[in-house]
Amino acid sequence: MAGNWEGSHGYTLAMAIYLDPPLWPAHGTVFSHLVSDSSLDELHAFAAAAGVPGRAFDGDHYDVPERRYNDLVSAGAIPVEARILVRKLIASGLRIPARERSKALTVPLMERWNSTYPGHEELGLELLERWGEERRKYHSRTHLLAVLEALDVLAEPEQPARTVVLAAWFHDAVYEGVAGKDEEESARLAEERLTAAGLAPHEVAEVARLVRLTATHSPKTGDYAGALLCDADLSVLGGDPQSYARYLAAVREDYAHVSDEDFANGRAAVVRQLLRLDPLFHGERAKALWLTAARRNLTGELG
């Protein structure tokens, strides 16, 4: 589809929207995938104009039930075979790799857990179940893995301390979308579970301290462990434009129960708070890796 095109819903397209056949079973019906060949923003706009709810978005596509197939084709979506749709999505650069999808991460995350705290697989599985809650979109296993991988990068050539890694596992283990309360409840969960698991009291206290620190991301000068965890937790802010767009879409889904106006106001307050953090990143490696892009992303979002 070249140039602009206006579908029956009156939405003008400057790119192509593709739809594969309804072949994917779930919830008593079968689903199609709706994708863009160039832009998530225009995909969201098309979906909104066609009456596809935001909760149907899954990172790089919309899941739409069979009953909507003909409507979406009439609105301008191009019907293609599933394999063609996948090729279009890959070529667009918008496709989320399988490793970044929460449900695909059970095995690699459990391998990490067992290397960090061997002999306590049951606790690791409980935490994975929490991180894998269906309602979570950003605060999910993908975020957990991203934080753990960021810790690896920031701590090189050494390994991050066990307490820092355990704090990463617990820092959003309780997530209800209430700032401050979530961190406190997660810290209490760490205290309870790690004490029961036999971790030394001073290590339990350190893990809980670090978890609570993620409420403000403001470690004191000289707090290397605190700086490490806070920098890793905020590393998503320094992503490339496509990664940052996926992050914003996922955060919006985490707050799907909030109206657009209330979310916009709340999110703007969060962005302003992040921009006021001085420093935003604490370690020199984190600053070199992510600070410039993070400032650009945050400023652009606020604008």
| Domain closes at, from 71, 95, 119 | 95
Domain stop point among 75, 95, 115: 95
Domain interval for residue 56 = 5-95
Q: What is the pLDDT of residue 123?
A: 96
What local confidence, expressed as pLDDT, does residue 230 receive? Answer: 97
Residues linked to residue 47 through DSSP beta bridges, in sequence order: none
Residue 44: phi and psi, rounded to 5, are -65, -40
Same domain? For 88 and 112 the reply is no
Chain centroid offset of residue 214 CA: 16
Residues 128 and 262 in one domain: yes
| 69 and 123 co-located in one domain | no
Domain of 151, CATH number, reads: 1.10.1300.10
pLDDT score recorded for residue 104: 63
At residue 303, the pLDDT reads 82
Per-residue pLDDT at 193 exceeds 60 = yes
Domain count along the chain? 2
In this structure, the answer to whether residues 129 and 215 fall within a common structural domain is yes
- Taking residues 30-44, report their average pLDDT: 91
In degrees rounded to 5, what are phi and psi of residue 7?
A: -80, 180
Judgement on whether residues 68 and 117 belong to the same structural domain of the protein = no
* Cα–Cα dist 236/250, whole Å: 12
| Strand-pair category, 62-65 with 29-36 | antiparallel
Same domain for 110 and 218?
Answer: yes
Give pTM, 2 decimals.
Answer: 0.68
Asked whether residue 107 falls in the same domain as residue 87, the answer is no
Of 73, 95, 117, the domain-final residue? 95
Pair (150, 265) in one structural domain: yes
Q: What are 130-188's pLDDT values in tens digits?
A: 998 888 888 999 899 999 999 999 998 888 999 999 999 999 999 988 889 999 999 99
According to the model, what pLDDT value does residue 199 have? 98
Phi, psi for residue 78 in degrees, rounded to 5: -95, 120
In one-letter notation, the amino acid at residue 46 is: F
C-alpha 177/C-alpha 197 separation (Å) is 28
Same-domain pairing of 144 and 246 = yes
Distance between CA atoms of residues 62 and 148, nearest Å: 29
Q: Are residues 126 and 264 in the same domain?
A: yes
Are 40 and 163 contained in the same domain?
no
Query: Do 77 and 212 share a structural domain?
Result: no
Tally the residues of the chain. 303
In this predicted model, which residue has the larger pLDDT, 200 or 250? 200
